[in-house]
Structure 1
Amino acid sequence: MSLLFRTYPLARKALFSMDPEQAHEWTLRALQHNHDCTVTRLLTATHQPTLPRTLMGLPLRNPVGLAAGLDKNGAHIDALAALGFGFIEVGTVTPRAQPGNPKPRMFRLPRARCLINRMGFNNDGLDTFITNVQKSQWRRQGGILGLNIGKNAATPIEHAVDDYLRCLDGVYPHADYITVNISSPNTKNLRSLQSHDALDALLAALQARRLALAEQHGRRTPLVVKIAPDLSTDEVDAVAELIPRHGIDGIIATNTTLSREAVRGLPYDDEAGGLSGPPVHAMSLAVIRRLRAHLGHDTAIIGVGGIESGRQAAEKIQAGADAVQLYTGLIYEGPALIKACVDAIERV
């Protein structure tokens, strides 16, 4: 195990003494500095967990990926990839830069090993995002990179499709797959795009543009939709009906939840935003099982939400996911969680 992994429990104590968003930014800077310095990179180098899988026709080094949200601007792709992920997803990016919601907007609930965030797609905009992605070496070295797109907060929901199409145009040449984020609870009315008619219209527009872009660039880039864990069974069934109809390649199940049932009485339980961490695991499993039952094996499912052990990653796979993604579990468990998940999935 690398020095970086062994020292994380000590680093976590220091990080948890800081404001959560400041700790997030400090961690990314530290990882980047470590990666940029040859000496520290060699000292902290870790063995890449290998468990080859194919996802939407894409060759993964292992089926454990990084979820979007941790690196919103795509500025630290190579540093994060060095932790051992099989694939990396960055974003969410919006057409124009925006500051996101007012601070404070991220809260730890350590007793439940959870986070609440209402970041609100804070990012530096599409042009900067693409520049950052182009600077990274991850894809050139055979890594798989997903780019996650959204809408600006100031864009009326009835014009959301315009933002998604603009982002799709921009990221298409630079992505191995593209995720359409319609499930963040932190942009007003965004989740309404998951309703049947709104989703039908959005997916039709995206697929039409994807066909044109595929002809222009000479390759078909997979499209994925990220959905919420709070959908009713009827709403999940509607998603499962629309996804294959429009030729969408996969679903990420799931985003954060608005439920507070599992954290009632804890500090910050009344803060607005999406809850992530262990309570989302069971919700995600239920969505994955229902999707797989409806979709068969022709549509990829990426399971995310509440994974803090190898066992939970394996449960996502057993429920029907083809791969998994991590975020909050990394904050509490550290990067050793990646290999633990790979090892547990190998035993499935």
Structure 2
Amino acid sequence: MSAVSTIDAIYRLLLKRYLFGRDAEYAHRTMLRMLAAMPAFPAPRDKPELGVKLWGIDFPNPIGLAAGMDKDAVAVHGWETLGFGFAELGTITPRPQPGNEKPRIWRVPDRRALINRLGFPSEGMEAVAPRIEQIRKAGISIPLALNFGPNKDTPPEGIAGDYIALIERLGPLADFIVINVSSPNTPGLRNWESPEKMSELFAAVSEHTSESARARPVLLKISPDLERNDLFRICETALALNLEGIVACNTTVVREAVGVSSPHPGGLSGQPILIRTRELIRDIYTHTRGQIPIIGVGGIASAEDAWLDIRAGASLVELYTGLVYEGPGLIARIKSGLVDLLRRDGFRSISEAVGIDR
């Protein structure tokens, strides 16, 4: 039995029942501690047809860890061991902050969903930087994305400065950067999704960061709650700004429209936003004529879910909530299923299938 199969069996037979009987944030932290303490195992070798080359980066497979799971880069080698093709770490803020008051994560088991109102709890960039430096020295076989967000107490006129500080300090340590302007849990943050504010932000970043700091591909993470016309305006702005990609999407504040009834505030993730995510991916791909690579994230819990996002236009996909409900073996099952789906549909690689259903 492989290391991943053993971990998955332990989770399914013992840990899941225990953790689901506890507070969701306690369960999250417990799993992170366990992964951080786990001995480093060689990453599983992926089938060549799963490889993706994007922005000059070689991804061994298209399945990534979504931001939010490992905010402070404490379990990176664990994600490599589980078989992810890349990991998006964060959201990282410039200064340490505790986030919102607890409780702030809730499960919705009947819909295989989570609701969070974490509010970017972060140890801050100066705590995260040496961890990533050490990871780089020790060697890591998967690309690492860093997801950046502002501190909650930063005034609107200082928001661009927070992103500049993050890119200057951590940009050189990333394989690519994700600018998070779409979390619903930081007041006023989604205002920066507007084309005007986007242009203001990226003009400031371009002017005030060094060439080495901004040498990495920069992607924008967007909200699933955008109106279609607003989405298209964002796409056009992203093209004009020469952004390297879009991450679609963050959590939603919508409830009834996705069939969820809950009294808890915050962003909803998991199965209920799967279809909405796919619609966004298809709209972005079609409107930009495939000129902007897309990372699809939202509700993926099977190979078929990932495959349909890829066919809609996603070059890579990410998951988080599916891992909570399906266990650590999910990544291996998705990869195995993707190989079968590629062969079934007559494709030789993931890249050949991107956007085929547009």
Q: Does structure 2 conserve the Cα–Cα contact (< 8 Å) formed by 1:151 and 1:164?
A: yes
Structure 1 residues 334 and 344: CA distance shift in structure 2, 3 A: same
Residues 150-161 of structure 1: pairs in structure 2 closer than 5 A: 150-161=149-160
Q: Percent identity?
A: 38
Structure 2, unpaired ranges of 5+: 343-358
Q: Does structure 2 conserve the Cα–Cα contact (< 8 Å) formed by 1:277 and 1:307?
A: yes
Root-mean-square deviation (CA, aligned residues, Å) is 1.8
CA distance in 2, matches of 1:143, 1:208: 31
Deviations 1:53-90 (A, max 9, x none): 11222100101000111111112111222110000110
Matched residue pairs, number?
334
Structure 1 residues 325 and 185: CA distance shift in structure 2, 3 A: same
CA distance in 2, matches of 1:281, 1:187: 23
CA distance in 1, matches of 2:125, 2:145: 15
Q: Does structure 2 conserve the Cα–Cα contact (< 8 Å) formed by 1:313 and 1:344?
A: no
CA distance in 1, matches of 2:45, 2:67: 21
- Alignment partner, residue 299 of structure 1: 292
Identify which of 266, 269, 279 aligns with 1:276.
Answer: 269
> What's the TM-score once normalised by structure 2's chain length?
0.89
Deviations 1:26-46 (A, max 9, x none): 10111122226xxxx5xxx77
Aligned AA for 2:338? Answer: I
1:315 aligns to 2:303 (yes or no) = no
1:250 aligns to 2:280 (yes or no) = no
1:290 aligns to 2:283 (yes or no) = yes
Structure 1 residues 138 and 190: CA distance shift in structure 2, 3 A: farther
| Shift in Å, 1:151 | 0.3
> What's the TM-score once normalised by structure 1's chain length?
0.91
Deviations 1:155-196 (A, max 9, x none): 112321110111110111100000000011000010111112
Structure 1, unpaired ranges of 5+: none
Identify which of 8, 11, 14 aligns with 1:5.
Answer: 8
1:47 aligns to 2:47 (yes or no) = no
Residues 178-189 of structure 1: pairs in structure 2 closer than 5 A: 178-189=177-188
SS of alignment partner, residue 216 of structure 2: coil
Deviations 1:182-225 (A, max 9, x none): 01100001011111211121122234456x323xx6x8210011
The range that moved more, 129-138 or 291-300, is: 129-138
Structure 1 residues 223 and 123: CA distance shift in structure 2, 3 A: same
SS of alignment partner, residue 122 of structure 2: coil
| Shift in Å, 1:230 | 0.5
The range that moved more, 338-347 or 170-179, is: 338-347
- Alignment partner, residue 100 of structure 2: 101
Q: Does structure 2 conserve the Cα–Cα contact (< 8 Å) formed by 1:93 and 1:150?
A: yes
CA distance in 1, matches of 2:58, 2:207: 26
1:23 aligns to 2:36 (yes or no) = no
